[in-house]
Amino acid sequence: MAIPIIGNIFHLNPWNLMESFKELSKKYGPIFTIHLGPRKVVVLYGYDIVKEALIDNGEVFSGRGILPLIEKLFKGLGIVTSNGETWRQLRRFALTTLRDFGMGKKGIEERIQEEAHFLVERLRNTHEKPFNPGKFLIHAVSNIICSIVFGDRFDYEDKKFLDLIDMLEENNKYQNRIQTQLYNFFPTIMDSLPGPHKTIQKNFDNVDDFISEIVRAHQKSIDPSCPRDFIDAFINKMEQEKGNSHFTVESLTRTTLDLFIAGTGTTSTTLRFALLILQKYPEIEEKIQKEIDSVVGRDRSPCMADRSQLPYTDAVIHEIQRFIDFLPLNVPHAVTQDTKLRDYIIPKDTMVFPLLSPILQDCKEFPNPEKFDPGHFLNANGTFRKSDYFLPFSTGKRICAGEGLARMEIFLFLTSILQNFTLKPAIDRKDIDISPIVTTLANMPRPYEVSFVPRS
């Protein structure tokens, strides 16, 4: 039972909402209501009910529900947090424009291969010394989306860009602090109190300023007849449709910020988890390396055409994404009209949590889901096994727009690293903890150090 104003706070674990939802689902079934403070939220638990909502009733469930902290940061602008016609127009424009600039095409594959080469050389220059590779991975992944959106990559020693990465890292660290968790329950009260949620806002504003500066530079140097990147294309769109309120400088800045953060965070975190997990299981690492040696060899870079010939490697990558369960709650949705789901009436604008964790951890689809096992994605004969339950990028109308790019980056960066190096942990393998740090929205890897030993 929800208490007025404070909602279900005493029935939920703010540090691990998923564990609370699991217990509630045992009592109430696959669809139930909670209250985050005064806000009503419908929770969908399990593959069947999520599919019924996001696929079978995709248009109705295509609204974006915004948690208070995300609302404060993004202001309902950009692709991720906007709704209605603004969202439809921005998403359509972004997908078309990103394709025009190579996303999902051979051109961007070559760009990732080039960046993977830079990353490999940077790792080689660590001379087998143990270190935390997080910043290297963030920088490499970020440079891919930067080349599409900004038209350029950043040097690995660029001080301004390194400061930006530090701020993003700090925000990730502060996500699971109690003040940050409580902000989503009591935003008005928390606005008047100090804490890490204030640092998150400050860092976000600094990243926003960084993007705004790049946008202003583009406005001064643009050649409308020859757009260099996504920002130029957006500026052209603004000029062509001056009366269109969906295409403004502010929406450009926020959309660019969306692409930058989303295009960096998911993939770099997945790669950080991957390197941690493979340190724990050297036999899996060795099997991947043997497969790469057999199919790719050492004399050329891995390419996407190799993936179908690397079923074990592909299975390991899928299992990494399933196991880490990066966005357990999913990004919240909302219903765009009054609707009925099974026996429940859901009023228009109600926030909905179509949970991903119960799908990725489904024990019938993935036996022993708490165990890291590439066999979850392998047939008995060793071929790759597809699963409808593999939904790390969500599904339906709000599926991650960068899914194709992220899959390409994870495959090419990881295979390039393992083609060239063997991972040497800084601690005993039995002491390596691959369980995630649970935060408000995302699961994060525990800090670690590793040595990259060149393969002979």
Angle among Cα 118, 305, 297 to the nearest 5 degrees reads 60
Please state, in angstroms and rounded to a whole number, the distance separating the CA atoms of residues 235 and 381.
52
Check if the beta carbon of residue 62 is closer than 8 Å to that of residue 333.
Answer: yes
Please state, in angstroms and rounded to a whole number, the distance separating the CA atoms of residues 349 and 364.
33
First to last CA, the chain: 63
Query: Kind of pairing, strands 351-354 and 39-44?
Result: parallel
Query: Kind of pairing, strands 339-341 and 344-346?
Result: antiparallel
**Nearest by Cα to 136 from 404, 449, 383:** 449
Please state, in angstroms and rounded to a whole number, the distance separating the CA atoms of residues 206 and 201.
9
- Helix or strand run (H / E) with residue 381: none
Please state, in angstroms and rounded to a whole number, the distance separating the CA atoms of residues 29 and 43.
10
Q: Which tokens in the block code for residue 50?
A: 């999520």
Residue 226 assigned to a binding site: no
Which DSSP category does 384 fall into? B
**Nearest by Cα to 184 from 393, 398, 24, 8:** 8
Q: H helices of 131-158, where?
A: 134-149
Q: H helices of 243-382, where?
A: 249-280, 282-295, 311-324, 357-360
Known binding-site residues equal 400
Known binding-site residues for heme equal 400
